[in-house]
Structure 1
Amino acid sequence: MPSRHPGTIKQEWEPVVLQKPRAKAQDLRDQKAVNQALRSGAQVQTIKKFDAGSNKKAPPTAVNARKLEEAEEPAALDRVSTEVRQAIQKARIEKKLSQADLAKQINERPQVVQEYENGKAVPNQAVLAKMEKVLGVKLRGLKK
């Protein structure tokens, strides 16, 4: 039966074998001489290279520790003030909203509202502005 595709291209693949490069003849002679000297009990001088056979690079801990000590202490991030926390909570309760309801209305996660009311959040002006709109109270500009 003739082929349906005249002039079909055939590919002939040849295997490719990857091998380690062979050791140089001089290196082999040197290694044989060292092995022979070791067997006969002769003195052989060995030199250990720094970090030889190690893939790890230990960090210079003394330098890092010194930099940390010399660096100035980072300023603590401002948290939501007590006045703002109480204003949010009071306005939310007056509007009969749960934290989850307020979060939906300002398009944030309930955890965000909870952090603002607990005083754990770092104040974000955009979030405070959304809360002001929904709750109808002034939150920005209160004593921090």
Structure 2
Amino acid sequence: MSGIGPLTQDWEPVVIRKKAPNSAAKKDEKAVNAARRSGAEVETIKKSSAGTNKAASSSTSLNTRKLDDETENLTHEKVPTELKKNIMAARVEKKLTQAQLAQLINEKPQVVQEYESGKAIPNQQIITKLERVLGVKLRGKK
């Protein structure tokens, strides 16, 4: 080990201090402390929005209001009835269970179950895998 000197450790303490308050805050604090020392009544008011991100909460309420005002029924696209029937028929024809089919397309059994029940959000890659494994054209005439 040439060129490497003895290892030394630096054990100097590191002191981290809070940022000093600005001059306006110091004046306010001094006035309050002086009033307390003299025995005068000091009224303290707790701010209702203390510790909250006021800007974020107001924009959130605006977004919530927009969603509430929205009359259109927004839902995810579901698997069409024809597609789910085609998947089921092709799977039964090949004598496969949902779990076996899922294993063949490298997906969880729940994915196949959701497609056959019509609850899944259609994913073209998964439908392509199903078509390849089942050897059937599942989507419409293209």
Normalised by the length of structure 1, the TM-score is 0.63
Cα distance in 2 for partners of 1:9, 1:108 equals 54
State, as a whole percentage, how many aligned pairs show the same letter.
45
Q: Does structure 2 retain, via aligned residues, the 8 Å contact 1:129–1:140?
A: no
Structure 1 stretch displaced more, 100-109 or 28-37: 28-37
CA deviation profile, 1:68-122 (whole Å, cap 9, x unmatched):
3445646322211222111111111111111111111112111111101111111
Tell me by how many angstroms 1:140 deviates: 0.9
What CA deviation, in whole Å up to 9, does each residue of 1:19-54 have, x standing for no partner?
Answer: 776xx699547623444252xxxxx685848558x3
Deviation at 1:67, TM superposition (A): 2.8
Please state which structure has a larger fraction of its residues in helix.
2
- Radius of gyration: which is bigger? 1
Say if 2:51 is the partner of 1:55. Answer: yes
Alignment: residue pair count: 130
Gaps of 5+ in 1: 1-6, 39-43
Is 1:88 aligned to 2:90, yes or no? no
Higher relative CO (Cα under 8 Å, sequence separation at least 6) belongs to: 1
1:97 aligns with 2:99: no
Unaligned runs of 5+ in 2: 21-25
| Structure 2 Cα separation of the partners of residues 11 and 133 of structure 1 | 64
Amino acid at match of 1:88: I
Partner Cα separation in structure 2 for residue 118 and residue 88 of structure 1? 10
111-120 vs 72-81, greater mean Cα deviation: 72-81
Q: CA RMSD in A?
A: 3.8
